[in-house]
Chain A
Amino acid sequence: MTAPATLPLPGEALAPTRNVRDRIGDRLLAGLTAAAAGVSVLIIALIVWRVVDGAWPAIRLFHLGFLWHNAWNPVTSQFGARDFVIGTIVTSFGAVLIAGPLSIAIGLFLSELAPRSVRGPIGTLVEMLAAVPSVVVGLWGIYVLAPFSAHHLQPFLSSFLGWIPIFAHGGDEVESTVFTAILVLTIMIIPITASICRDLFLGVPTELEEGAIGLGATRWEMVRTVVVPSVRGGVVAAVILGLGRALGEAIAVTQVIGNFIPLQPSIFEPGDTIASRLANQYAGAVSNTQVASLIYLALILLVITFVTNLAAQRVVKRFELQRTGGGS
Chain B
Amino acid sequence: MSAPASTVGLRLKATGRNRRRLVVNTIAEGVATAAACAAVLILAIVVWSVFSRGVHALTWDLFTKGPAVFGQTGGGIAPAFAGSLLLVALATLMALPFGVLAAIYVSEFAPKPVAAQVRLWLDVLNGFPSIVIGIFVFALMIKTKLPVLGWGHHQSALAGAFGLAVIMLPLVSRAAMEVLNLVPAHQREASYALGVSKWQTVLRVVLPASLGGILTGTTLAIARAAGETAPLLFTCAISGTLVDWNPTHSVASIPLTIFTYSEAPDPQSHAQAWAAAFVLIAFILLSSLTARFLFERSRRKLGMAA
Determine if chain A interacts with chain B. Answer: yes
With A51-B132, A126-B39, A220-B28: A251-B259 Cβ-Cβ less than 8 Å: yes
Cβ contacts under 8 Å, A283 to chain B: 237
Contacting residues of chain B (203-225) with chain A, CB-CB under 8 angstroms: 203, 223-224
Contacting residues of chain B (54-89) with chain A, CB-CB under 8 angstroms: none
Q: How far is the CB of B256 from chain A (nearest CB, A)?
A: 8
Give Cα distance in the complex from A114 to B198, angstroms: 46
A220 touches B24 (CB 8 A): yes
Contact of B97 among A36, A223, A301 (CB under 8 A): A36
Q: How far is the CB of B57 from chain A (nearest CB, A)?
A: 13
Give Cα distance in the complex from A180 to B192, angstroms: 60
Give Cα distance in the complex from A291 to B142, angstroms: 10
B31 touches A105 (CB 8 A): yes
Contact of A301 among B49, B132, B140, B233 (CB under 8 A): B132
With A40-B98, A41-B121, A294-B135: A139-B169 Cβ-Cβ less than 8 Å: no
Cβ contacts under 8 Å, B237 to chain A: 282-283
Q: Which of A152-160, A161-169, A262-270, A303-311 contacts B (4 or more CB under 8 A)?
A: A303-311
B contact residues, range: 35 or more
A contact residues, range: 35 or more
> Per-position contact with A for B214-245: 1 when CB-CB < 8 Å, else 0?
00000000011011111001100100000000
With A223-B28, A298-B131: A140-B49 Cβ-Cβ less than 8 Å: yes
Contacting residues of chain B (26-51) with chain A, CB-CB under 8 angstroms: 28-29, 31-36, 38-40, 42-43, 45-46, 49-50
**Top 6 closest pairs, chain A to chain B, by CB:** A248-B129, A133-B227, A36-B101, A33-B105, A54-B139, A22-B197
Q: Identify 15 residue pairs between A and B in the complex whose beta-carbon atoms are under 8 Å apart, listed by A's number.
A: A29-B202, A30-B105, A33-B109, A47-B136, A105-B35, A128-B43, A132-B227, A133-B226, A135-B262, A136-B50, A139-B277, A218-B22, A279-B230, A291-B142, A302-B128
B: residues with CB less than 8 A from A are 21-22, 24-25, 28-29, 31-36, 38-40, 42-43, 45-46, 49-50, 53, 97-99, 101-102, 104-106, 108-110, 117-118, 120-125, 127-136, 138-140, 142-143, 166, 169-170, 173, 192-193, 195, 197-200, 202-203, 223-224, 226-230, 233-234, 237, 255, 258-259, 262-263, 270, 273-274, 277, 280-281, 284-285, 288-289, 292
